[in-house]
Amino acid sequence: MSTQDQAPYVASCPECDVDLQTDAPNEIIEFHRRHYRVTGHEAEFEYAQLDLDEDVTSDGLKDVVWQLQEQYENGVPIGVVAAVMSDRGLSIGETLDEIHEVRMTGGLYEPQDDHLGAF
Amino acid sequence: MTQWDDSQAKAVSEDITEKSNALPARYFTDDDVFEMEKDKVFGQYWVYAGHANCIKESGQYFTRTIGDRQLIVVRGHDGEVKAFDNVCAHRGSKMVEDTPMTDPGDAKRIKCPYHLWTYDLDGELKSTPKSFEEAGLNPDLEDEDVQKFDAEENALNDVHVDTIGPLIFVNLSEDPMPLAEQAGVMKDRLEALPLGEYEHATRIVSEVECNWKVFASNYSECDHCQANHQDWIKGISLNESELEVNDYHWVLHYTHAEDVEDEMRIHDEHEAQFHYFWPNFTVNMYGTADGYGTYIIDPIDTNRFQLIADYYFRDSELSEEEREFVRTSRQLQEEDFELVERQWEGLRTGALAQAQLGPNEHTVHRFHQLAQEAYDS
């Protein structure tokens, strides 16, 4: 919980009175995982102020990562990917599931934990 | 006297008369201490795992993460609750997915998805796939020379489990003190109440930006209530209230200014009772509700914890009155979050090396003593 002004990334659980405001997009993913572990509920983005060099024009997950990875040195934070996919109608949980599926096909990899690169 | 310098900080004072040293601030702010607590606090004492009513049927289970360990807490075929590390005896794979108490899983057996080693609900290895019985790919070994895995020797790693009424506790140490010893009179008091007749109704989980011990300390005293819980304090006679200290738990007895109807509470006393059980569990017997609540104050890291608040009522469906009660409880939590986050902002500046405690903070003093004892052990 925090009383700070609007942070760049805000997520909350629709079923609980709990939210997370943070500067770090991957904190949203950790929050989602922790909250799911103790409640089974999925937290969702309420707000994401993406600070990207250029707009993401792609729709598909792999293409989004492909386009974003030029802006990051060692992989795109998974929280940024989830925020972009949230704009396209996917929940955080759905994005994490899809990341897993595409990784299993070899289309995505993790150059570091919770950061994605695309082939 | 207040210590502003680390070199002047002392251990927690033995009593709270002349000296009233709090736990030195570095024990709240140092990341090394958080790592030490996994072993010396959460690895040594009985820690609340969850509620037996959520796993009433054989095979029902939930997971609970304590420090770096994740446990499977499961109701066995014999009706007893058991707990195992969520780790396969074969090559150490995590087995079941994270499963909250509020949405328990159901399994006849526990199967590791990696090589399909399968355990019964007592944790014993019951079956392995054919690839562990035949050595067709190994030219140096005949099928008949393949070892047979002993079911008991290759069982899951079980941890100690005990209960107070429907409340399930686990202990990660090899040779723990009995739960009855750690709980003392709290065990008798809670077991005298029909806690098992009440059902889990709702869970609220919050993430709070402060060390878990800051919130635990705040929960344990009410000197801050007059200034900070102004709605709640209206119904309480603080002067007639009492803070009782025991070895590993303390009880905050709050007397209501005006008597409330007996049928509005689970317990008979004309008071509310808030039990704090070292290290991170509370049982909240409210004076104005026929139900009870629990808090788990679970550390995430040095700077954050989760408050897992569960509420139990006669029926798992909340009535309007109960929903309003939970809302009021939530208001108290929010007020406390403001306080502890502000305290944390101050503490983490490093300006104060050691706080001092007031005479009505003897419950906090006990909490700090227990922490000091654990660290020094």
Sequential pLDDT tens for chain A (119 residues): 544 568 999 999 988 878 899 999 999 999 999 999 999 999 999 999 988 888 888 889 999 999 999 999 999 999 999 999 999 999 999 999 999 999 999 999 999 999 999 98
- Weakest mean pLDDT among B13-17, B240-244, B246-250: B13-17
Task: Please name the residues in contact with A106: beta carbons below 8 A apart, sequence gap of 6 or more.
Answer: A119
Taking Cα atoms as reference points, which of B318, B258, B331 lies closest to residue B291? B318
Which chain A residue shows the shortest CA-CA distance from B98? A37
Per DSSP bridges, beta strands B167-171 and A115-118 are unpaired
Residue B11: other Cβ atoms inside 10 A: 15
The full set of domain ranges for chain B reads 47-165, 196-376
Of B204, B208, B209, the CB nearest to A17: B204
Helices (H), A1-119: 25-39, 61-68, 78-87, 92-104
Q: State pTM to two decimals.
A: 0.92
CA distances from B306 to B3, B204, B206 (A): 30, 10, 5
Helices B362-376, B212-219: crossing angle, 10 deg rounding: 150
Which pLDDT does position B14 carry in this prediction? 81
Which pLDDT does position B262 carry in this prediction? 67
* Gyration radius of chain A's alpha carbons: 14
Which pLDDT does position B43 carry in this prediction? 97
pLDDT in tens, B45-68: 999 999 999 999 999 999 999 999
Per DSSP bridges, beta strands A76-77 and A19-22 are unpaired
CA angle, B43 as apex, B38 and B46 as ends, to 5°? 125
Token reading at A22:
């943070």
Of A2, A33, A38, the CB nearest to B205: A38
Question: What three-state secondary structure class fits B319?
Answer: coil
Q: Considering the domain B196-376, what is its CATH architecture? A: Alpha-Beta Complex (3.90)
* pLDDT of B103 higher than 70: yes
Which pLDDT does position B289 carry in this prediction? 86
Q: How distant is the Cα of B31 from the closest Cα of chain A, in angstroms?
A: 18
Are B203 and A37 inside 8 Å of each other by CB?
Answer: no
Helices A61-68, A92-104: crossing angle, 10 deg rounding: 90
Asked if B33 and B155 count as a contact pair (C-beta separation under 8 A), the reply is no
Mean pLDDT, rounded, of chain B: 92
Are A31 and B341 inside 8 Å of each other by CB?
Answer: no
The C-alpha atoms of residue B40 and residue B173 are separated, in whole angstroms, by 10
Inter-chain contacts counted by CB atoms under 8 A, chains A and B: 50
- Under CATH, what is the fold of the domain B47-165? Rieske Iron-sulfur Protein (2.102.10)
Residues B110-114, mean pLDDT to the nearest whole number? 97
pLDDT: which is higher, B44 or B21: B44
Question: What three-state secondary structure class fits B197?
Answer: helix
State the best of A4, A20, A37 to mutate against chain B, taking most chain B CBs within 10 Å.
A37
Q: How distant is the Cα of B65 from the closest Cα of chain A, in angstroms?
A: 9
* pLDDT of B306 higher than 60: yes
The C-alpha atoms of residue A39 and residue A93 are separated, in whole angstroms, by 14
Residues B197-213, mean pLDDT to the nearest whole number? 95
Confidence of residue B194 (pLDDT cuts 50, 70, 90): very high
Which pLDDT does position B338 carry in this prediction? 94
Domains and CATH numbers, chain A: 9-118 (1.10.10)
Contacts of A1 in chain B (CB under 8 A): 206-209, 334, 337, 341
CA angle, B90 as apex, B52 and B115 as ends, to 5°? 95
Asked if B264 and B290 count as a contact pair (C-beta separation under 8 A), the reply is yes
Residues B238-248, mean pLDDT to the nearest whole number? 89
Contacts of A9 in chain B (CB under 8 A): none
Of B63, B204, B300, the CB nearest to A34: B300
Residue-wise over B240-250: b if at least 16 C-beta within 10 A, else e? ebebebbebbb
Question: What three-state secondary structure class fits B312?
Answer: strand
Confidence of residue B1 (pLDDT cuts 50, 70, 90): low
Residue B212: other Cβ atoms inside 10 A: 26
Per DSSP bridges, beta strands B199-208 and B125-127 are unpaired
Question: Considering all CA atoms of chain A, what is the largest pairwise distance in Å, rounded to the nearest integer?
Answer: 42
Residue B247 touches chain A, beta carbons under 8 Å: no
The C-alpha atoms of residue B56 and residue B59 are separated, in whole angstroms, by 9
Peptide bond into A111 cis (omega under 30): no
Which pLDDT does position B308 carry in this prediction? 97
Contacts of A39 in chain B (CB under 8 A): 100, 102-103, 203, 205
Which pLDDT does position B227 carry in this prediction? 82
Are A16 and B308 inside 8 Å of each other by CB?
Answer: no
Using the structure block, give the residue that is written with the tokens 């090396």: B353
